[in-house]
Structure 1
Amino acid sequence: MSASSLSFTDSEDFDIMSETLNSSPRMPALVANSISSVEKATESPGTAPAPEHKHARFYFEDGNVTFLVQGVTYHVPRCFFCRHSSYFRTLFKNSPESEDPTKPIPLDNVACSEFDVLLSILYPTDFDKCELKTVESWTAVLRLSTEWSFPSIHRLAINRLQPIALAIDQVALGRTYGIEPWMGPGYATLCNREKPLTREEGLRLGFDDTMLIMTVRERMRVCRQDLSKCEVDGMVKAYLESSFDQAVVRLDDEITVGRRAYEEAIKRKQRIEEAAAKKAVEDAIAMKKANEEAAAKKAFKEAAAKKWAEEHSRKMEEVAAAKKRADEEAATRKEAEREAALKKWEDNYNRKEAEKAAAKERADDDAAGKRRAGGPAMMIGISSSQTPSQAQAAMPRPPSIMGNSVAHVSAPGQPALSNPHMVSIGFGCGHGQK
């Protein structure tokens, strides 16, 4: 696959290439368990040391300089630092803390595990045995010796890494620390192997080296169709070792094409993201508008229902008030009619009583006149067998008012009179004849 034929259609491949382009070659991270005996004697994996904690191994009582690394204090002789490092000679000269062993000198951008492996070289436990066995340990020594200007330790780290470093380590470390003899063999191994570069390897190598290896592998694939394996191996070796600089120059145009494709892919991705963001905003606005319309409809329905309920309640109150007024008027009218009927009856009763009294008085007068004349005795309305009290009880009583009707009540033990105003007047002689 050539650089000009790169296509970023897969989002994951695009992200990988984007990270690869924007990243510089990375050093391998130190693994706590891989820095064997030195780190195991100082700290346990996954736990941070407490502040101002004395190092279990590199805290010598006869030391004359103190370092502070990640909260751990190191008390060591300063002579080895002054002898082998120009960086520390300048640091001790300009640092006031170096004069007082009780005041630690802080060292930034370094881990305890890295500082331990460096000190294991300066202060070994056994001179005939090397404690460091892994690529990670010697990579830490290479980094610190380069950063702190330990030239002899720098050469020692290169010599110890040469036989144990993998091809990817040779290319990455050679590019980072300027070790040119490692570059050609490392490229040749990565181009000749069957397994393509992994994502982690691409991130460590960086964009330029990754594109170079990918281009060479593509050309090798094409050449293998027509040439034998020996011819291909010889061509690759000559291509990478004898004329590496010329190969880089010839590949510049393809790398430029790859960068241009990458930039176009970046722009296309940005356009897609902008369109997606615009659509999301439009969807949000439409949803907001729909929610507002639904809320307005709901509010309108609630207002209409409330208005109808108020109107219905008002009408019911009016109907109840009208019914109450009608009932009151009917009761008043009924009471007036009852009182009028009672008054009419009383007037009629009084009139008839007066007439009865007048008639009785005339009868009494007539009877008295006859008695004076010696005529037979007469009883008006009284039987010869009735006593005066029984005759008085037989007189009609006032009616009882029941609603609008008038009931006529007769005396107890007497039959009801069809006309209370009719009084039978009997005439009897002295011997009881009627």
Structure 2
Amino acid sequence: MPANGSHNGVSLVHHHPDYYLKDGNITFLVDGTLFRVHKHFFERESQFFAEEFAKAPQKGTSDSSAYRLYNVTIADFSKFLWVWYSPSYRRERKDKDHWLTILQLSTNWQFPDMKKLAVDELQKLDIEPVEKIVTYDRYNIDRSLLLPAFKLLCKRASRMSAEEGEQLKMPIVLGIHEARERAIRSAAESGCLSPTSADADDEELERILNDVFTLNSHATNRQGLQSQVTPNPVPIIKTPKPNLNGTANGNGSSAPGSVSRGFPSETVVGLIEIVYPE
């Protein structure tokens, strides 16, 4: 098949082997693969999708009018749908990357309950403290959940590396440095000889971290430095422009074992594209 995903004026697409459901009533197209699932989940849990469906009620009702999703892979969209369609998901052990994918998509597409689930599952996993702090700040997650990660950084013998400092950004680096210094002073005042930050009492260290990072109020710390959180872009829906050969933008890659299906390229032009602003 040609690289552009078309053959003799026909754009080839594939049904996803697991998520093209006979009783589904909304169709999405991701990288040349069709997903047919239940509209109810998207309308109920995402204000963004509910509003978009209301604007174009006939979109997604058939393969030829499918909503086309960009900036998401077949594998990642499958992980997202897995939460709804796996009856045993609460008993299945999934790794960190699996839940990070769900966290990213649920944030971008405004699924608050799905985002909360992803955070709850990430809380159960052993994640390096620097990575956890960076991730939770990126997705604007309750910073009080980071208290154990901040404690680990304060108590460990080695200071942060330059690479870790670049990941965390200056306000957090300064906060960790201040907390370590205050923990050392607290340990010294308690009578510890040659104290380190690891010698501070756990409750006292938690009090220091709550003070430095205002974990309980989720506000700016006492130095007036705010958490470096970049707001997630709100998706924009637009109609994709056809390529010179008459097919819509996007490649024709598909999941192994999927069923091929073709339809005339002029029907593809009506698909909806979801993109994110830079």
TM score, norm. by length of structure 2: 0.61
- In structure 2, distance between residues paired with 1:231 and 1:220: 5
1:241 aligns with 2:213: no
Q: 1:106 deviation in Å?
A: 1.3
Matched AA of 1:194 = A
1:110 aligns with 2:72: yes
Matched AA of 1:237 = E
1:149-160 equivalence runs, <5 A: 149-160=110-121
Q: 1:165 deviation in Å?
A: 4.4
SS in 2 for 1:102: helix
Aligned to 1:163: 124
Q: 1:75 deviation in Å?
A: 1.6
- In structure 2, distance between residues paired with 1:49 and 1:156: 37
1:80 aligns with 2:53: no
Q: Percent identity?
A: 26
Classify 1:170/1:77 alpha carbon distance in 2 versus 1 (closer, same or farther; 3 Å).
same
1:137-148 equivalence runs, <5 A: 137-148=98-109
1:190 aligns with 2:163: no
Classify 1:247/1:178 alpha carbon distance in 2 versus 1 (closer, same or farther; 3 Å).
closer
Classify 1:156/1:67 alpha carbon distance in 2 versus 1 (closer, same or farther; 3 Å).
same
Q: 1:152 deviation in Å?
A: 2.0
User: In proportion to residue count, which structure has more helix?
Assistant: 1
Classify 1:168/1:92 alpha carbon distance in 2 versus 1 (closer, same or farther; 3 Å).
same
Residue by residue, what CA displacement relative to the aligned partner does 1:298-322 show, whole Å, maximum 9, x if unpaired? xxxxxxxxxxxxxxxxxxxxxxxxx
- Contact 1:65/1:101 (<8 A) preserved: no
- Contact 2:179/2:212 (<8 A) preserved: no
Q: 1:197 deviation in Å?
A: 3.0
Matched AA of 2:222 = V
Aligned to 2:173: 210
Aligned to 1:179: 142
- Contact 1:132/1:138 (<8 A) preserved: no
How many pairs align? Answer: 204
- In structure 2, distance between residues paired with 1:195 and 1:137: 30
Classify 1:128/1:240 alpha carbon distance in 2 versus 1 (closer, same or farther; 3 Å).
closer
Classify 1:247/1:234 alpha carbon distance in 2 versus 1 (closer, same or farther; 3 Å).
farther
Q: 1:199 deviation in Å?
A: 5.2
- Contact 1:53/1:72 (<8 A) preserved: yes
Aligned to 2:54: 93
Q: 1:226 deviation in Å?
A: 4.6
**What are structure 2's unaligned runs of at least 5 residues?**
6-11, 226-278
Classify 1:236/1:74 alpha carbon distance in 2 versus 1 (closer, same or farther; 3 Å).
same
Q: 1:118 deviation in Å?
A: 1.0
Matched AA of 1:154 = K
| Bigger relative CO (Cα 8 Å, ≥ 6 apart) | 2
User: In proportion to residue count, which structure has more strand?
Assistant: 2
Residue by residue, what CA displacement relative to the aligned partner does 1:133-178 show, whole Å, maximum 9, x if unpaired? 1111111112222222222222211211112142234322332223
- Contact 1:175/1:183 (<8 A) preserved: no
- In structure 2, distance between residues paired with 1:139 and 1:49: 30
TM score, norm. by length of structure 1: 0.41
Residue by residue, what CA displacement relative to the aligned partner does 1:96-115 show, whole Å, maximum 9, x if unpaired? 52344432211122222221
Q: Aligned-residue CA RMSD in angstroms? A: 3.3
